[in-house]
A and B are shown apart, each in its own frame.
Chain A
């Protein structure tokens, strides 16, 4: 069972008499008006039962050979004890499989983060212009941003729906910035060639 519900402002433990009240009650520590909805899961035991030692006739845990196996991992099929059984949604998994699945990010259930290629491409296009690096490396940044758009269009694996308009915007901006950089360089070269004396040539 958990320690109880906490005040969202000061994280002080709230009294059980404050649970599931219709009106707001004041936190005993910070006096903030607080309301707490407590659900039946609060009364459930949170700690896993201690693994039992196995006898010779019983199967042992893959990770703790002296402990009795209580479950089978739904992914790899290893026998695991109560300590190594991790409930992940409706599945029961071993710690090894959770680690591997998270690293692979192949299944939505195990994905805990996504790289936003569209935001990176936009950042690559905006930051150089703001900090004047554009004059020196504008074409490079534009090409890199365009490459990110092409790669990210199919590779961006967000768990929730995300519009593609940022990719289109980044592609358009990278083409405009690239063309602008070429035009700027051409203009400088033209100016130097047409007025060589003014540039000390």
Chain B
């Protein structure tokens, strides 16, 4: 029963696959947005019809700074393994340094974070897949014209 009309536009990062209930993806359908949230054994779907979306609000968040500090600190701690004398110390140190270094770099490359909410008359939902700056910009470029097009009659009615 897979619907082939859905097009994936954003998804949470690969780290979210390890945490139950955090992984979510946004798809675009003909007349609505589909938010699929995976909670371990289930996948829950929420639809936001373009004609019913009232607002998209986003606030800057410091999450990426805190995560950069955390990964940087753990990378610094991993370097202590190299103080040991032995091949195994170097192997473990290199492994930890690579992991935390990669996390730090991916966090910095991802850019600033936001908290994004999508509002309709019936619900306000947080959209985690578009909380990075580049994702948010792309999301707006895709979604806003579709919403405006779907709500064009409402604009005309208001003008009349």
> What residues make up the interface of A, taking CB atoms closer than 8 Å to B?
2, 5-9, 14, 19, 24, 27, 32-44, 46, 89-90, 108, 111-116, 119-120, 123, 157-162
Q: At the interface with chain A, which of B58-66, B71-79, B93-101?
A: B58-66
- With a cutoff of 8 Å between Cβ atoms, the chain B residues found around residue A35 in the complex are 57-59
Q: What number of residue pairs across chains A and B have CB atoms under 8 A from each other?
A: 132
Q: What string of 1s and 0s marks CB contacts (under 8 Å) between B29-59 and chain A?
A: 0011010101011111111010111111111
Q: How far is the CA of A64 from the CA of B60 in the complex (A)?
A: 48
Instruction: Give CA–CA (A38, B148) in the complex, Å.
Output: 10
Q: Is the CB of A159 within 8 A of B36?
A: yes
Minimal beta-carbon separation of A24 from chain B (angstroms): 7
- Chain B residues lying within 8 Å of A157, measured Cβ to Cβ, are 1-2
User: What residues of chain B lie closer than 8 Å to A90, measured between beta carbons?
Assistant: 31
Instruction: Give a binary string over B99-128; 1 marks a CB under 8 Å from any A CB, 0 the rest.
Output: 000000000000000011101110010100
Which of these, A6, A40, A116, contacts B57 with CB under 8 Å?
A: A6
Q: Known interface pairs A40-B151, A44-B154, A89-B49. Does A8 touch B59 (Cβ–Cβ under 8 Å)?
A: yes
Query: Provided the pairs A39-B54, A40-B158, A115-B42 are in contact, do residues A33 and B31 lie with their beta carbons within 8 angstroms?
Result: no
Are A114 and B42 in contact, with the CB atoms below 8 A? yes
Whether the Cβ atoms of B58 and A8 lie closer than 8 Å is: yes
Q: Name the 3 nearest CB pairs between A and B, nearest first.
A: A46-B121, A8-B117, A8-B115
Indicate whether A32 sits within 8 Å of B60 (C-beta atoms), given known contacts A39-B148, A40-B154: yes
Q: How far is the CA of A158 from the CA of B41 in the complex (A)?
A: 12
Task: Count B interface residues, CB 8 Å.
Answer: 49
Interface pair A39/B45, CB less than 8 Å apart: no
A27 to B60, CA, bound (A): 11
A116 to B38, CA, bound (A): 9
Q: Is the interface of B mostly helix, strand, loop or mixed?
A: strand
Contacts of A7 in B (CB 8 A): 57, 59
Does B6 interact with chain A (Cβ within 8 Å)?
A: yes
| Main secondary structure on A side of the interface with B | loop
In B1-19, the 8 Å CB interface with A consists of 1-4, 6, 8
User: Do B1 and A108 touch across chains, with their CB atoms under 8 A apart?
Assistant: yes
Whole-angstrom distance between the alpha carbons of A157 and B2 in the complex? 7
Task: Using known A-B contacts A8-B116, A161-B2, determine if residue A113 contacts B42 with beta carbons closer than 8 Å.
Answer: yes
Q: How far is the CA of A87 from the CA of B54 in the complex (A)?
A: 16
B 111-160 contacts with A by CB, 8 A: 115-117, 119-121, 124, 126, 140, 144, 147-148, 151, 154-155, 158
Q: Roughly how many angstroms separate A93 CA and B35 CA in the complex, as a whole number?
A: 23
Contact A27-B158, Cβ < 8 Å, known A38-B54, A119-B41, A161-B6: no
Q: Is there contact, CB below 8 Å, between A159 and B45?
A: yes
Asked if A5 and B34 sit within 8 Å, CB to CB, the answer is no
Q: Using A6-B119, A112-B45 as known contacts, say yes or no to A160 and B59 having CB atoms under 8 A apart.
A: no
